[in-house]
Amino acid sequence: MSSSSTSLEQQLVIFTLSNESYGVDIAKVSGIERMHEVTRVPRTPEFVQGVINLRGRVIPVVHLRRLFNLPEGDVTKETRIVVVDIGGQPIGIQVDEVTEVLTIATDSIDPASAVITSADSDYLLGIAKLDDKLVILLDLEKVLSVNQTSQLSKVTSRDSKEVPNTVEVNTSEQEVEAFTDSGAVAEFEEELSQELESPAKPKTKAKKSKNTKKASSK
């Protein structure tokens, strides 16, 4: 693909919140984790769900529904923590579901309407028009204010030994790195598709071998 065509496309990780689709720049995403127990931290802002110990590093988890003043919602098997980079700091954002990775043409993106934007909603980059839905594009650098990012930095100052390690409950997308590399993106798309489309296989009882049956009959 030529550099001119690449500049007219954008790769996004798509997730849902309260039945609406949102997209973030794939270059800002460093991993996707299954939802699991999050360690609560006293005296933290309401939008902070808690912290997780991700391979020895304490990462704050932002409850995006609360931050956006959406209904609380239930945690389901589809709930995910998307690890993103905001201002050079790794932060987990709790979302309802990660659905896909998309490459969209920039001319399919409309600027956010003046009706829905205001001084405190400049994190809305625009709205992408797809065949079956609209996707709200977020600027992660502006989702959290400077003050809120500073508050998260203080949350992560606690010792990682105080937070249970969650490395064993990562999804199949763990260690997703270098998303801007086309090969890594293709591999991530394949792994995500397999998780979304392949139901868990039921456990089956081990069959006894014929030799075992003969030995038992003697």
pLDDT value for 81: 95
- pTM of the shown model: 0.70
How many other β-carbons are positioned within 10 Å of the β-carbon of residue 110? Answer: 12
- Give, for all 218 residues of the chain, the pLDDT tens digit: 444 445 588 899 999 999 999 999 999 998 999 987 899 888 888 899 999 988 888 899 999 999 998 998 899 999 999 999 887 889 999 999 999 998 999 888 888 775 565 556 678 888 998 888 899 999 988 888 766 777 777 776 654 455 555 443 343 343 333 343 445 556 666 666 565 555 544 444 444 444 544 444 44
CA separation for the pair 192, 186 (Å, rounded): 10
Question: Nearest to residue 165, comparing CAs of 79, 33, 85, 57?
Answer: 57
pLDDT value for 168: 39
CA separation for the pair 72, 94 (Å, rounded): 11
CA angle, residues 45, 48, 53, in degrees to nearest 5 = 135
CA separation for the pair 156, 111 (Å, rounded): 35
pLDDT value for 164: 55
Question: Nearest to residue 196, comparing CAs of 98, 102, 95?
Answer: 98
**End-to-end Cα, the chain, rounded Å:** 70
pLDDT value for 153: 74
Q: What are phi and psi of 164, to 5 degrees?
A: -55, 140
For the chain, which domains are there? Answer: 3-217 (2.40.50.180)
Question: Nearest to residue 155, comparing CAs of 32, 31, 52, 82?
Answer: 52
pLDDT value for 206: 46
